[in-house]
A and B are shown apart, each in its own frame.
Chain A
Amino acid sequence: GQQVMQIPQYQHVQEGEDFTTYCNSSTTLSNIQWYKQRPGGHPVFLIQLVKSGEVKKQKRLTFQFGEAKKNSSLHITATQTTDVGTYFCAGMKTSYDKVIFGPGTSLSVIP
């Protein structure tokens, strides 16, 4: 069945350093969503990417969708302690399909 993988599993960075997490799907996706889950909290939607090669920015966060629509990345510039949490990508094969979550990348920021 469809699988969504993420690397790395954990990342520890010094505050101010950059951070990137990568998401790969075993199948071509219709769209990909990114969620953030703070420690002890629930996943919160960040963004959805639909088009091949799409790049979207939210302040210090940059999201990319690969040309083949099988991979995606999230890059955070100059991390802050408020960025701490687990970042999940979630892919859909079609707009009517179920969402498959990746295992997440847990980010720790050392002040």
Chain B
Amino acid sequence: EAGVAQSPRYKIIEKRQSVAFWCNPISGHATLYWYQQILGQGPKLLIQFQNNGVVDDSQLPKDRFSAERLKGVDSTLKIQPAKLEDSAVYLCASSHPWGKPKNIQYFGAGTRLSVL
């Protein structure tokens, strides 16, 4: 079974530039998550999708971050414009809401973003 795919693995941009990350979840997983992990901290949920609908985006800085999952499969997270404090690893995860146990999250390798 293929895992969660993310690209790119690394990205370096200057502040005020824009950047986009892509995620393809495990086949059949209806729930997709985007997390931000700052060095030395736990993953912080940015947005959670169930199929192509948003379940939770309460911690997404909506003035600069946007995410979509138009066909309920792969997803894109965008930052525009980027700030220095956005430097982090952006992790995508997926889960099967009816799996056993429920809501186990399978993470991709992440995209390491450096904003200069």
Contacts and interface: CB of A to CB of B under 8 A. Distances in A.
- The answer to whether A and B belong to the same complex is yes
Interface of A: 4, 31, 33, 35, 41-45, 48, 50, 88, 90, 92, 95, 98-104
A42 B94 CA distance: 13
B22 interface: no
21 contacts: A4-B42, A33-B103, A33-B104, A35-B105, A41-B109, A42-B108, A44-B107, A45-B105, A48-B104, A90-B42, A90-B105, A98-B48, A98-B55, A98-B56, A99-B105, A100-B45, A101-B35, A101-B44, A103-B42, A104-B41, A104-B42
B42 A102 contact: yes
Interface residues of B, number: 22
A29 to B, nearest CB: 12
Contacts of A99: 33, 45, 103, 105
B71 interface: no
Nearest to B44: A101
Given A98-B45, A101-B44, A103-B41, A45 B56 contact: no
A100 B110 CA distance: 18
Nearest to A88: B42
A101 B104 contact: no
Nearest to A10: B40
A92 B104 CA distance: 11
Residue among A35, A99, A102 with most chain B CB within 10 A? A99
A48 B101 contact: yes
Given A41-B109, A42-B109, 13 more contacts: A35-B105, A42-B91, A43-B91, A43-B107, A48-B101, A88-B42, A88-B43, A95-B103, A98-B55, A98-B56, A101-B43, A102-B42, A103-B41
